[in-house]
Structure 1
Amino acid sequence: MKFDYVVIGSGPSVYRFLLGMQNSGKKIAVVEKNRFGGICPNEGCEPKIFLEGAARATLTSMRLQGKGITQPAKLDWKELIQQKNKAMASFLNNMQSMYEGLGATTIKGEASFVDQHTIEVNNKKITADNFVIATGKKPHPLNIPGHEYLLTSTNLFELEDTPKNVAIIGSGYVGMEFATLLSAAGVKVTVIVRSGQPLEGFYSQHVHQLVDEMKNSLGINFIFNTNVTAVTEAQTGYEVQSANGNLGTFDKVINASGRVPEINALKLDNAGVEYSNRGIKVDKYLTTSANNIYAMGDIVDKTAPALTSTAQFEADYLSALLTNKTTEPLRYPVIGTVTFTFPQLAQAGISIDKAKEDSNYSIKDIDITQGDFLYAGTDDHARLSLVFDKQNHLVGAAEISQTAVDDINALIPVMAIDVDPEVWKEKMLMAFPGLAYKIRTLI
């Protein structure tokens, strides 16, 4: 089989890429070894946000007890998982046909390069003028004794029976969000943190505040500066060992220690594609060291955050580049990111920690509990930090609150248009008393 483009992987970036290439007249194939749609809709952000809605409602009702709510909600994990599966079944079952509807030939199997113009899938050779690698990342394997007992996010999304207590190894997005979800379901959670702080990359002051909230309000236990060395089967569950001794016995142990590039099976050396342990190396046009092979999404070794939004942005750019709609290099916009904990952490633009080390920036810290937008008084510790440059333009923001993602998303246009906040206020008037309106009073 011969194609103009073969895309390896089928995540959200691939869907965007196919949309951009739809009227190009090019013959395109998409190769996927697992489930079409990739990690995000199958075992990542889409099922997570479905569960998060119920968890947030449950935790909010707990906060409102004694403030007008007499009986807090109780989350039925088994029923929630069943509802998630039901809600997403038709969408996920149609992913492959959606790609075919955009003109692509879909091929199920694992791809590996034979040379710069050839891959092998299911013992058959497929040739193409160009390739796009979008295989994403997979859970970081923990090579320790007892690793076979560990669950990952994939298993957890299918777990119908709620364990009484779990240990979560890792404290990035996945670890902290699952700690929140399981805690809302009444599970006793212990988070094992390799360093002294979870969620590296978020504003450290807000992270410390979040940890205090999760400990005091949700009863989550944190063990810091600890590496797990082994997991052993016990009569009542699994014992987790560290260099300092036994950390406890748990019904389930979850590996949330990070994600690594899905790269090994590709045999990139055969095609002359350079890579590192962070992913595939690309230039400012998303071109690899082999000039007919491109990469996009989480598989790329990049400084931009590995998010669905950045992957789709790269896909839009790459399809525009390959259809001669642009000749410019890739330039990322203002990027927002959020962790769906309770409360949420969200941020965009210049980080607060970085701005504190640079005299070119000034920082405004705001206690947003002191205002007119406290809904029933459930958000007692909400804080917003803003970064301004020498021209008084807003260039960064970080927030901890139950509505942080909405607030930061409302601030991103202010950063993107790069004007004095007073000019922005003249051009935009948000609906009152919506959450976005309070931004007007804060900048």
Structure 2
Amino acid sequence: MKNIVIGSGPAGRLGSLELGKLGEDVTLIEKNHIAGTCLNEGCMVVCALTDITKYIDLTNRLNNHGFIKSQLDISYEKIVAKIVETQEKLRHLNQLENESVGNTVIYGEAIIDEGNVSVNGESFEYDNLMIATGARPFIPDIKGSEYGLTNKDILKLDDIPEKLNIIGGGIIACEIANIYSTLGSEVNVIARSSFLKEISETTKKYVLENIIPDVNVLENTNVSEVFKDKVLTDNGEELEGQAFFATGRTPNSEIAEGIVELNSDKTIKVNEMMKTNVENIYAAGDVTGGYQLTPVARMEGITAARNMAGYPNKVSYNCIPQTLSLNMEVSFVENEKSQCSEDDKQTIGIPGIAGPHAFWNILTGDTGYTEVEFDKKNNKINRINSISPSSTSDVAYLSYLMRMDYDLDDYGDFLEIHPSTDSNYKIIKNLWL
């Protein structure tokens, strides 16, 4: 069976790798760089810069304690150069990984026709096709929007902006605000509705007061015009600084128009097997909408690949853990399928938990905050919002318990590794059981 995968982001790369492991004939086509937005323009760039800001935050903290005296000299140009150098290494490894299972990797812009795909003037027939072309930043229809930056421009900046106006109120807006505020920019976040609607109000309050206290957040505010060095809000306020759009993503689905059915928002319509309305065409990742997260894209790509190879399986989106990559991580998960009544809900909030990387935060009392909603009748977790240096691993572990529908008593024999999983111990064994 000849399989073609268009797009090498998390969905396409992992999908093609899975197909190769299953012994299938695979051609992976990539327009730009292998590994897609995640490595080249998105979360890996954010994580790399956040590693720097965490170091700055820790250095400032230890300086304030008085037993270390150091002065930081930050070169944004050198940071960018090293990020690019690392990206090049990872691209090479990602290509070798795909080729190691017998896959062919081709670079060029693909065009889908009836029963074949053409790239660089050459035509390839397929038995199965996976479209994993991802998404790009959405730019709202605002006068002067051409002056605004997006995540695609982070590695193109010559230096740290003196002032930055981030338009958008979601996770990306918060992460960019944290990075440039820590690096020394004067940052405004302009949200047309509420800021960080994805997390609870108590968690949001902690983020604003303790993690990004220097960021000025304007809620329920629209930008009416963007200029090269300022933005104008709908109430007439002028905010000096470069504009940065963090206003969501739009699918790269143009390649599929007229080939498969699209949703009203131009995402590719798929079922739970990642199959389109055309029998042998599948789609996965950001181009299908939904959760635009690397682990979800990987899951979708592998699901599509297995179905293409004749191993039927379905994707499930329940209890998807998410995080804000900040100087202290904020992670959260919710069981959307919970049937818990209001009377059976019990919410417990606790201060940050001593765990990995938390020791030197204790002196200043900013070790984080965790809020857990339990289903006390069925002895299960409904929802978690956790702020701690270890929240990403904590919530990932606990989301698995939720997704597998485990009773909390099943966690009773869990033996933690001190201090790395102390948070799990406190949340489940000490707090509830």
- Whether TM exceeds 0.5 here: the answer is yes
* Higher alpha-carbon deviation: 430-439 or 283-292: 430-439
Say whether 1:349 aligns with 2:334: yes
From 233, 237, 240, the counterpart of 1:249 = 240
Structure 2: gaps of 5 or more residues: none
Structure 1: gaps of 5 or more residues: none
- The C-alpha deviation readout for 1:146-194, integer Å capped at 9, x for no partner, is 2222111121133241221111111222211111111111111111111
From 205, 218, 225, the counterpart of 1:223 = 218
What is the match of residue 60 of structure 2? 62
What is the match of residue 86 of structure 2? 87
What is the match of residue 32 of structure 1? 30
Q: By how many angstroms is 1:136 displaced?
A: 1.0
CA distance in structure 1 between the aligned counterparts of 2:32 and 2:307, rounded to whole angstroms: 28
Q: Is this contact kept in 2: 1:276–1:301, CA < 8 A? A: no
- The C-alpha deviation readout for 1:321-361, integer Å capped at 9, x for no partner, is 23333x3432346421101123322112327xx98994265
Q: By how many angstroms is 1:135 displaced?
A: 0.8
From 241, 259, 275, the counterpart of 2:263 = 275
* Secondary structure at 1:279 match in 2: coil
* Higher alpha-carbon deviation: 37-46 or 66-75: 66-75
Structure 1 residues 416 and 232 mapped into 2: Cα distance closer, same or farther (>3 Å)? closer
1:360-439 to 2 correspondences below 5 Å: 361-369=344-352, 375-376=359-360, 377=362, 378-380=364-366, 382-389=368-375, 390-426=377-413, 428-436=414-422, 437-439=425-427
Q: Is this contact kept in 2: 1:191–1:220, CA < 8 A? A: yes
From 156, 179, 182, the counterpart of 1:181 = 179
CA distance in structure 1 between the aligned counterparts of 2:308 and 2:368, rounded to whole angstroms: 45
Q: Is this contact kept in 1: 2:6–2:29, CA < 8 A? A: yes
Say whether 1:338 aligns with 2:323: yes
Q: Is this contact kept in 2: 1:11–1:134, CA < 8 A? A: yes
- The C-alpha deviation readout for 1:64-122, integer Å capped at 9, x for no partner, is 4433455466361333223222333222245444433332222322223333x233434
After TM superposition, what 4+ stretches of structure 1 lie above 4 angstroms from structure 2?
A: 354-358, 370-374
Q: By how many angstroms is 1:308 displaced?
A: 0.6
* Secondary structure at 2:342 match in 1: coil
Q: Is this contact kept in 1: 2:210–2:366, CA < 8 A? A: no
From 411, 430, 441, the counterpart of 2:430 = 441
Structure 1 residues 254 and 69 mapped into 2: Cα distance closer, same or farther (>3 Å)? farther
Q: By how many angstroms is 1:370 displaced?
A: 7.3
CA distance in structure 1 between the aligned counterparts of 2:109 and 2:247, rounded to whole angstroms: 25
Normalising to structure 2: TM-score of the pair? Answer: 0.88
From 209, 213, 228, the counterpart of 1:212 = 209
CA distance in structure 2 between the aligned counterparts of 1:425 and 1:273, rounded to whole angstroms: 48
* Secondary structure at 1:208 match in 2: helix
CA distance in structure 2 between the aligned counterparts of 1:288 and 1:370, rounded to whole angstroms: 46
CA distance in structure 2 between the aligned counterparts of 1:224 and 1:213, rounded to whole angstroms: 18
1:12-31 to 2 correspondences below 5 Å: 12-31=10-29
Q: By how many angstroms is 1:145 displaced?
A: 2.6
Q: Is this contact kept in 1: 2:166–2:173, CA < 8 A? A: yes
CA distance in structure 2 between the aligned counterparts of 1:43 and 1:154, rounded to whole angstroms: 5
Paired AA for residue 191 in structure 2: V
From 246, 251, 265, the counterpart of 1:261 = 251
Paired AA for residue 369 in structure 2: R
What is the match of residue 77 of structure 2? 78
Q: By how many angstroms is 1:261 displaced?
A: 0.8
From 338, 347, 359, the counterpart of 2:342 = 359
Q: By how many angstroms is 1:267 displaced?
A: 4.3
* Higher alpha-carbon deviation: 314-323 or 287-296: 314-323
Q: By how many angstroms is 1:34 displaced?
A: 1.6
Identity %: 26
* Higher alpha-carbon deviation: 404-413 or 309-318: 404-413
Q: Is this contact kept in 2: 1:27–1:104, CA < 8 A? A: yes
How many residues end up aligned between the 2 structures? 424
CA distance in structure 2 between the aligned counterparts of 1:155 and 1:40, rounded to whole angstroms: 14
CA distance in structure 2 between the aligned counterparts of 1:433 and 1:27, rounded to whole angstroms: 46
* Secondary structure at 1:138 match in 2: strand
Structure 1 residues 69 and 145 mapped into 2: Cα distance closer, same or farther (>3 Å)? farther
What is the match of residue 3 of structure 2? 5
- The C-alpha deviation readout for 1:126-153, integer Å capped at 9, x for no partner, is 3322210111110012333322221111
CA distance in structure 1 between the aligned counterparts of 2:145 and 2:105, rounded to whole angstroms: 34
Q: Is this contact kept in 1: 2:175–2:326, CA < 8 A? A: yes
Paired AA for residue 199 in structure 2: F
Q: Is this contact kept in 1: 2:335–2:402, CA < 8 A? A: no
Q: By how many angstroms is 1:124 displaced?
A: 4.5
CA distance in structure 2 between the aligned counterparts of 1:370 and 1:108, rounded to whole angstroms: 48
* Secondary structure at 2:271 match in 1: coil
What is the match of residue 295 of structure 2? 309
Structure 1 residues 417 and 153 mapped into 2: Cα distance closer, same or farther (>3 Å)? same
Paired AA for residue 350 in structure 2: D
CA distance in structure 1 between the aligned counterparts of 2:200 and 2:220, rounded to whole angstroms: 19
Q: Is this contact kept in 2: 1:169–1:192, CA < 8 A? A: yes
RMSD between superposed Cα atoms in Å = 2.8
What is the match of residue 157 of structure 1? 155
- The C-alpha deviation readout for 1:10-65, integer Å capped at 9, x for no partner, is 11222221222124443322222221211111111222212211211211333444
CA distance in structure 2 between the aligned counterparts of 1:166 and 1:340, rounded to whole angstroms: 19
Q: Is this contact kept in 2: 1:214–1:220, CA < 8 A? A: no
* Secondary structure at 1:81 match in 2: helix
Structure 1 residues 393 and 192 mapped into 2: Cα distance closer, same or farther (>3 Å)? same
CA distance in structure 2 between the aligned counterparts of 1:395 and 1:177, rounded to whole angstroms: 26
Q: Is this contact kept in 2: 1:349–1:395, CA < 8 A? A: yes
* Secondary structure at 1:346 match in 2: strand
